[in-house]
Amino acid sequence: MPATRTVEHEITVAAPPDHLYQLIADVENWPSLFAPTVHAEQLERGESHERIRLWATANGAAKTWTSRRELDPAARTVTFRQEVSQPPVGAMGGAWIIEPRPDGTSRVRLTHDYHAATDDPADLAWIDTAVDRNSRAELAALRDTAELDQGAPDLLLTFDDALEIDGKAADVYDFINDAHLWGERLPHVARVSLVEETPGLQLLEMDTRTADGSTHTTTSVRVCQPSERIVYKQVRVPALMTLHTGRWLLEDLPGGGVRATSRHTVRINESNIRAVLGPSAGLADARQYVRTALGTNSLATLRHAKSYAEGR
């Protein structure tokens, strides 16, 4: 049996402990809170426990696992244990512990206990690096979110674009799922690379053309649920964003056909607005630019998916 490693990371946050607890307890909001988290779903929920599935990146690789969590709002603790871990992890658990401090700040501790799936030292070293990197990133993100001035500009933007298609959801899904063919099928895609080592979990790198003829490179992790949805998170975003998550949703219509919806959630990188859009640009300009650019490309993709599905 490989040896178990126990580690702890902590941070001090200038925010009330109850607010921090709520941020940690609301796991479905984690993709917007924590950079490593791509997607999160609550599978079961009891009075003080839940079963969740997470999709996240670790050392640049996409992983998924199911965990059980025990939630104690009075003690402000959330303990977790993976049901079935993904190699090289053999088993993993831990806890979020939030403690009020006399000066009005809060101490947040994140503990992990784990062992590797094999006795290979390289596997344990891989886990050590992933746990350390993700723990530091998550604690920093928790602090930054909790300490954000409530009067700060609204940098978050969520919007939908939808199209009704006289075809089958399965065919629309296939078009969106087969992103490795987008370089041939979509005029705004200059280059694409797709890796799918685990079925339904894709790593997509893409060069996208913008209206002025330039290109930018993005890298996304995609969670694919056949004929229903594809959820994704960009782990490499354009300069005008600090966050970009999205999903392709497919809904059967009562009279036949399918409604395909593209949904984006973006956080604007305020510090880069002038560098990208010019010295006179402001937040409103950035919001409109992102809305137009992403919406244009999404609708173009949906229209090509419509032609594909209706021609089947």
pLDDT of residue 153 exceeding 80: no
Return the number of other C-beta atoms located less than 10 Å from residue 160's C-beta.
12
Mean pLDDT of the 270-298 span: 96
**Residues shown for the chain:** 312
Cβ 84 vs Cβ 65: under 8 Å = yes
Mean pLDDT of the 206-232 span: 91
**Burial of 182 (C-beta count, 10 Å sphere; 0-12/13-18/19+):** buried
Can you tell me the distance from the alpha carbon of 2 to that of 68, in angstroms, rounded to the nearest whole number?
A: 23
pLDDT of residue 81 exceeding 60: yes
pLDDT of residue 60 exceeding 90: no
Return the number of other C-beta atoms located less than 10 Å from residue 45's C-beta.
12
pLDDT band at 72 (very low <50, low <70, confident <90, very high): very high
Structural domains in the chain plus CATH codes? 5-147 (3.30.530.20), 156-310 (3.30.530.20)
Can you tell me the distance from the alpha carbon of 80 to that of 111, in angstroms, rounded to the nearest whole number?
A: 10
Q: Which amino acid type is present at position 111?
A: T
Return the number of other C-beta atoms located less than 10 Å from residue 104's C-beta.
9
pLDDT of residue 210 exceeding 90: no
pLDDT tens readout for residues 222-261: 999 999 999 999 998 999 999 999 999 999 999 999 999 9
Predicted model pTM = 0.89
Mean pLDDT of the 28-56 span: 94
Least confident of 207-216, 267-276, 293-302: 207-216
Least confident of 51-55, 194-198, 259-263: 194-198
In the predicted model, what is the mean pLDDT of the chain?
94
H-helix or E-strand spanning residue 24: helix 17-25
pLDDT of residue 149 exceeding 90: no
pLDDT of residue 126 exceeding 60: yes
Mean pLDDT of the 279-284 span: 96
Mean pLDDT of the 53-66 span: 91
Can you tell me the distance from the alpha carbon of 168 to that of 256, in angstroms, rounded to the nearest whole number?
A: 8
Residue 151: the pLDDT is 57
